[in-house]
Structure 1
């Protein structure tokens, strides 16, 4: 290692904490600053990471070949992809897709703040990843009070080694995080570093009454939002969303859906109609509207298809249920302002009609963002609400 590299490593954490401060709008709490200094981020990253290139694809960055780029990634307030394709080497025909990452530091510290930890609390972390968040927790609470679960055996082993090399020994378990870790329950806090579309029942059952579950949130329409639930005496949990974080989905809840492979069939005979609502307003224009529409529709996802090889159509918006039983397509012909847009729908649900209604609902309720929404969880039942739990609806799965 050169003197310049050693100096860059030593300066990395203080510089990163300044960047996090600017993003959060306040200083990182002293106890978390101390944890970050004691467990420098670069010590938890693998020698090979994947960074986005100019085309938005992921290219490998090897520490031995590109030490400056690798270290810059370690101390930039951005997520760093640490595994692709669930650990399999991409082939020429298989582009790298992220399957594990080191979260952006500002998001990590925001989540640590939201946990509202006190000395002596016991924490279950779901999704060990690099082990860095577990390191911060162990520095703050002590090894005996931290259990971290990772489904990927290679990631779990690497995290355990990184923790031990930093004189930290929280309990690292290789298991399915959806099941929690009952052997050391109950926990004061359950904190996930992967997003969920449903809160697993095991997490509720393994959290103390009055304890907190903090998890990034995923909806088929949009992966966005941080959910903080408090577990109640009757075993239910309730809490609100905040407009932060977008994480990879818990592996047990992942879906790999493509319109042409999984949804549209030759025998389908869609019904044709038209709409006066520009489809670009409904999907992908604003995060706040996407959050609302996604949670009004529940189990519906969308994708834009550019140049779909249909005469006169520049872009086509596809909507489909996750069960692949209903779908809709709306055509945009390239005009900035048009009177009508062609709609095709198939299945028992009229998905475009539902999406239109959800968009109008969002407009009529003051264009709310995630911070006005909450969730009540009772076992498998999830009820979404705006402002007040008294005005709730069942979230479709």
Structure 2
């Protein structure tokens, strides 16, 4: 067995442990070597949880080990403005972890001959895997970034793979190549474009990472119905960088001198910050708010901080801090909207439902928009 074959089988062993019962996906990984789609310089997650630069020429062993491990590799920072070799910044393109790729492909379940629309070409590896599964002439892959799309085209051409590549906003789909049997989305989505449903034939499957903004991200698998709607559930975790046209404003909310509120709560902020995925879905659907949290040491010891924000109003946000030994927890709120109270109310409403897990929630897509439901489409969360 060659060194490449050994590395590939070791990678498949890692993937199999997380994504079982997907032998056809493993066969595709064997047939489509990942290293052909990874740049010579990138950033990979280190065993200690940090991120490190990998350099094919400077440390080839480290580069090969990263490429054939179950880790995502950052291939672009700050839309290309920051040098991967020397800088740090916002990740704006990457090669996703193989287990994540395998899981979404398993949910997509493409068959030979299916016409597939891929949103987010990235390095081209998933386009190549899809081409192996359904035939390159059946794959249409759209990338929003000119430079990323150009490099993906080079990667695919060098490997002898020939899907249809388009540079543009994937939210618009590709009507000239429709109808599609499968839509494979590799970027985070908050609002599902109805275009994808419209360009899919009845029975088509759409798989995407749903990122409502509150808490964790969720895999969403939709099936297109004959009446032009789509229904589906959330079968697990998926957390990708946002589609560019749906990005939220970066960084912390702006400070303002108006409408400041210093409040307290007896509810441990970790109840919300560490809530299960089902609670995150319910809170997002009921409030429309966004959150992010951090746990880090400060001068007084450990600190857990939860940020809440109103995506529609940059001057409406709150911070809730947990510190060990506290009897009450401080809330710093800006704006008149009672963000913490809304989130707490939504959380306990979820509790009153019996704490339903993520898999009990679903989504319906219509020309008028999308709605989240619990257990069945007629039980809309609102």
TM-score w.r.t. the length of structure 1 is 0.87
In the alignment, is residue 359 of structure 1 matched against residue 347 of structure 2? Answer: yes
Seen in structure 2, the aligned counterparts of structure 1 residues 42 and 389 have a Cα distance that, compared at 3 Å, is same
In the alignment, is residue 347 of structure 1 matched against residue 335 of structure 2? Answer: yes
Seen in structure 2, the aligned counterparts of structure 1 residues 219 and 368 have a Cα distance that, compared at 3 Å, is same
Describe how 1:32-181 pairs up with structure 2 within 5 A.
Answer: 32-53=25-46, 58-90=51-83, 95-181=88-174
Alpha-carbon separation, structure 2, partners of 1:22 and 1:195: 25
Deviates more, 1:313-322 or 1:15-24: 313-322
Deviation (angstroms), 1:325:
4.3
Deviation (angstroms), 1:292:
3.3
SS at match of 2:82: coil
Preserved CA contact (<8 Å) 1:35 1:136: yes
Deviation (angstroms), 1:111:
1.4
Alpha-carbon separation, structure 1, partners of 2:307 and 2:180: 42
Seen in structure 2, the aligned counterparts of structure 1 residues 335 and 210 have a Cα distance that, compared at 3 Å, is same
Which residue of the partner structure matches residue 244 of structure 1?
A: 237
Which residue of the partner structure matches residue 280 of structure 1?
A: 270
Deviation (angstroms), 1:343:
3.2
Alpha-carbon separation, structure 1, partners of 2:368 and 2:145: 26
Preserved CA contact (<8 Å) 1:188 1:208: yes
Preserved CA contact (<8 Å) 2:121 2:141: yes
Preserved CA contact (<8 Å) 1:226 1:244: yes
Seen in structure 2, the aligned counterparts of structure 1 residues 161 and 302 have a Cα distance that, compared at 3 Å, is closer
SS at match of 1:169: coil
Deviation (angstroms), 1:55:
7.8
Gaps of 5+ in 1: 1-5
Gaps of 5+ in 2: none
Alpha-carbon separation, structure 2, partners of 1:154 and 1:253: 20
Which residue of the partner structure matches residue 322 of structure 1?
A: 311
In the alignment, is residue 293 of structure 1 matched against residue 283 of structure 2? Answer: yes
Instruction: Compute the RMSD of aligned alpha carbons.
Output: 2.7
Which residue of the partner structure matches residue 18 of structure 1?
A: 13
Alpha-carbon separation, structure 1, partners of 2:149 and 2:303: 46
SS at match of 2:237: coil
In the alignment, is residue 383 of structure 1 matched against residue 371 of structure 2? Answer: yes
Cα shift readout 1:298-338 (whole Å, capped 9, x = no counterpart): 233244586899x9995553311012242233343x23452
Seen in structure 2, the aligned counterparts of structure 1 residues 15 and 278 have a Cα distance that, compared at 3 Å, is same
Seen in structure 2, the aligned counterparts of structure 1 residues 275 and 176 have a Cα distance that, compared at 3 Å, is same
Deviation (angstroms), 1:34:
3.3
Alpha-carbon separation, structure 2, partners of 1:369 and 1:263: 35
SS at match of 2:201: strand
Seen in structure 2, the aligned counterparts of structure 1 residues 212 and 69 have a Cα distance that, compared at 3 Å, is same
Deviation (angstroms), 1:201:
2.1
